Amino acid sequence: MKCVILAAGRGTRMGDLCADCPKPMLPIKGRPKLAYTIETLPEAVDEVVLVVGYLQERIRAYFGDVYEGRAITYVEQIDLHGTEHALRQAAPLLDGQRFLVLNGDDLYRKDDLAQMLQHEYAVLAYHTKQAQEFGYVETYDDGSLRAIIEKPHAYAEGPVSTGTFVLDSEYFNFPPVAKSPGSDEFGLPQTLVAAHPEIVVQVVHTDMWFPIGDVDQLDAAQEVIDDFIDDQKALVL
């Protein structure tokens, strides 16, 4: 199974830290963030497709063609037009397949990703008291995805999207949907929601996810990374 990891962004909120280093390569305890992401993938994933752009040579040099026993393939996103546009660059490599989609910046629990693979389509949702900082996840009575409401919204607490999905290549049959009216960015969540009811997405919930979008979060990640590593070890024991 393949996993597409979105790693093309410029990391503008990181300031000078990304002047000569792509955001996914910023270090957590001396190792690139992206290394932790790849090592967290379930065993069913045997190939990683990295969507790269800004300073991509740094990413290619570190991970090469094989990393930790997984084949690595690279796809370039030249113009940054949102998550849907980034994913669609990898579409030729995903024909007729189910695949996992992750952000290259965040920290995940391996067991959550494995649980997502039990569904044909899935999104990972995290319960937080800072819901206003993220896209809020609304569900139907059967627990499937109804909407992802982008900020700003009125929800202070509840499930939010982690930007983590299991999809099938059927997804690419649906036209890209703009992140917001008039935007030149196309959103993966918006496109997926618009494909309902042809596509029904199961919401998988987690209480362990850490987004790394700015300098403060990167600093905090130096401390929380041990919790994620310990969780990984517990799965092995």
pLDDT at 195 over 80: yes
The pLDDT-based confidence of 237 (bands split at 50, 70, 90) is: very low
Answering whether pTM is above 0.75, one says yes
The three-state secondary structure class of 132 is helix
**Which CATH number goes with the domain that contains 88?**
3.90.550.10
pLDDT tens by residue, 112-168: 999 999 999 999 999 999 999 999 999 999 999 999 999 889 999 999 999 999 999
- Whether the bond between 152 and the residue before it is cis, its omega within 30 degrees of 0, is yes
E strand residue ranges, 122-185: 122-128, 136-139, 145-149, 158-168
- 43-78: buried (b, 16+ CB within 10 Å) or exposed (e) per residue? eebebbbbbbbbbbebbeeebeeebeebebebbebe
Residue 9 has pLDDT above 90, yes or no: no
Give Dmax over CA atoms of the chain in angstroms.
Answer: 51
Count of structural domains, the chain: 1
Which domain covers residue 116, as residue numbers?
A: 2-236
Predicted local confidence at residue 224, as pLDDT: 93
For residue range 32-70, what is the model confidence (pLDDT) as tens digits?
A: 999 999 999 999 999 999 999 999 999 999 999 999 999
Query: And the tokens for 177?
Result: 């949907």
The pLDDT assigned to 235 comes to 55
